[in-house]
Amino acid sequence: MRIRFGLFVAFVVCSLSSAASGQQAATPYQEVLKGSVAECDAQRAACLLAGTSSTEINKCDQTWRACRSALNPDIDALATAAGSAPGSSPRPVAPEQGDQNEVDGCTLGKLAYVINAQDPCGCSLGKGGSGSTKFGEKQGTDSVGTLGRGEAVLPLPCNLHDKCYQTCHDNNPNGKAECDTEMYTAMVGVCDAAYGGSNASCPYGGLSVLVCFSYSIVPGLFGFRGWYEERKDCYAWAERYKLGLDYLPQAKDAYNDRQKQYCKSGS
């Protein structure tokens, strides 16, 4: 999934100044933003993709909630529903189908220098310390992850997404959206397996209950990330990847390029 998330595009920003000042007597705020739900979401996408800390992510969510609240008062129900998305399970991939596919797992472009794209959460407390939050893994032996004959695509979200883009969807106008939703659903599944769900309670008891919570020694620099914050980060990264696929033009270009390549070859 070689999509350069580091190359951001300018998204339309949803203005909140009028709502903050309350000066919308002549033209109601909701009317001004009628049909602009996508603008709120695009603003959040750009913000989440640029943020690298929990504090920055929280600010993104607060701004998004304010923007969406102007359109939909039931924002809490909306935010709760955002924790899961409809979609089918990832398609099984037979070993013989892996011939000549390029599977490099998750990539983040220039952000990969500071973030592990394959496991951006880097969490360690899920499932009693044994729950993996890895979304992808580079396969193959060359720089682009070319699979050898008979080599299977690993059942990881980004790896299956690579395979999905490299499958001809010539007669399906929703091919990209289905691939992207499958990847997001699989990422949520990874987090569910590690943490028991987005609303699960911390399983640690006794003195170990201390690991459930985060502690800050030097704000923004040193501290301990607890179980609850790890869980939140895992789901937040799943959403970040999905938002990038939904809004960044590089994602559409990557899909179209792969379709030209694999539909032409009859894959």
Question: What are the tens digits of pLDDT across the range 17-53?
Answer: 333 333 333 333 333 333 455 666 667 666 665 655 5
CB-CB contact of 134 with 198 (8 Å) = no
Helices (H) and strands (E) in the chain, counts: 9, 2
Q: How crowded is residue 174: how many other Cβ atoms within 10 Å of its Cβ?
A: 9
Residue 7: Cβ-neighbour burial (10 angstroms; 0-12, 13-18, 19+) = exposed
pLDDT lower than 70: segments of the chain: 1-42, 44-58, 60-61, 64-65, 68-99, 112-113, 218-222, 265-267
User: What's the start-to-end Cα distance of the chain, in Å?
Assistant: 18
CA 62 to chain centre: 18
Q: Two tokens at 15? A: 């203005």
pLDDT 10s digits, 224-248:
899 999 999 999 999 999 999 999 9
Phi-psi region of 251 (alpha: psi -120 to 50; beta: other; left: phi over 0): alpha
Q: Which residue type does 37 have?
A: V
Q: Give the pLDDT confidence score for residue 127 in this predicted structure.
A: 85
- β-sheet bridge partners, residue 218: 222
Q: Give the pLDDT confidence score for residue 108 in this predicted structure.
A: 85
What does the DSSP assignment read for 117-142?
Answer: TTSSS----GGGGT---------SSS
Measured between alpha carbons, how far is residue 35 from residues 31, 245, 264 in Å? Answer: 9, 22, 39
CB-CB contact of 96 with 150 (8 Å) = yes
Q: Two tokens at 144? A: 């682009």
